[in-house]
Structures are given as C-alpha cells and as structure tokens.
C-alpha cells in the first residue's frame, strides 16, 4: 500500500517521502581513509605539520570534485596532500527527501608526524586526521 501511495504522489509531482529526514555528507568506511600514503616524504623529513581546511563538492555518487584550500597549512606539500587525500576518499552523499544530493562541504584536516615505535625503521610516518 505504501508503494502505491508513493507512486501516486510521485506521478502527481509531490515528493513521495517528504517526511524522510535530510542527512549530511559523511565518510564511507574502508581502506581509502589511509592518509599516510599522501604525507610526502619531503614533508616528513622537514618536520612539516599543520592544519588546513579543504572545500569540496561531494557528488550524488559519493565522489569529491572541485577541491580547493580554504585555509592553508603554510606548507605547499601539505596543502597538496590535503587536496589529494580528500579527492580519493569515498563519501556517502547528503540526502534531501530521501534522495542523494550534491553538497559542498568544508573539511578540516590536521597533519602530524607520528613517533616511530620500531627501532629497525627510523623513518617517521605521518598521518592526517579529519576533525
């Protein structure tokens, strides 16, 4: 019965599930969240750390387009890392009336160097965190 009502409302041009709450964009779980691969070696060797804010549009398919730096880390390599990481993350798109919609968001990212815990690998590693 609910299907028939939804179909009738849709055919009449009324959103079928208008009572469905809107949802924001959020990160999809998975291996794509690994930020270490985007922390450039030059940044690690130079001890570069910082926080940036990336503005990005998330499509209905959950991909990121039109990435730009809203607030810089102060380091070109880290800003590049911010843009690349955001571009390759997978997202769950925002919804409006139960339908996915394209939405522009601002994402704060903090880059920090993690201390090395293994004596056999003296190279530092870096991690980016979305906060």
Could you report the per-residue pLDDT of 87-124, keeping only the tens digit for each?
A: 988 899 999 998 999 999 999 988 888 776 545 444 44
Render pLDDT for 23-39 as a digit per residue (tens, 0 to 9). 888 787 665 666 778 88
Residue 15 lies in a domain: no
Instruction: Find the CATH number of the domain harbouring 32.
Output: 3.30.2420.10
pTM given for the model: 0.70
- Domain span at residue 118 reads 21-130
66 CB burial (10 A radius; 0-12, 13-18, 19+): exposed
Angle at 29 between CA 28 and CA 32, to 5 degrees: 90
Cα torsion for 87, 34, 112, 120, to the nearest 10°?
-140
Query: What percentage of the chain carries pLDDT values higher than 90?
Result: 40
| Closest residue by Cα to residue 39 from 123, 125, 110 | 125
DSSP 17: T
Q: Report, as an integer, the average pLDDT of 34-54.
A: 86
Residue 70 lies in a domain: yes
User: How many domains is the chain built from?
Assistant: 1
């Amino acid at each position: 019965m609910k299907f028939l009502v939804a179909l009738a409302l849709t055919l009449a041009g009324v959103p079928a599930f208008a009572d469905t709450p809107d949802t924001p964009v959020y990160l999809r779980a998975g291996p794509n969240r690994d930020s270490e691969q985007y922390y450039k070696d030059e940044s690690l060797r130079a001890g570069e750390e910082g926080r940036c804010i990336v503005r990005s549009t998330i499509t209905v398919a959950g991909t990121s387009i039109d990435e730009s730096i809203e607030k810089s880390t102060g380091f070109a390599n880290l800003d590049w890392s911010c843009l690349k990481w955001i571009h390759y993350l997978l997202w769950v798109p925002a919804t409006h009336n139960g339908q996915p919609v394209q939405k522009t968001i601002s994402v704060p990212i903090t880059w920090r160097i993690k201390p090395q815990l293994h004596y056999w690998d003296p190279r530092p590693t870096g991690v980016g965190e979305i906060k």
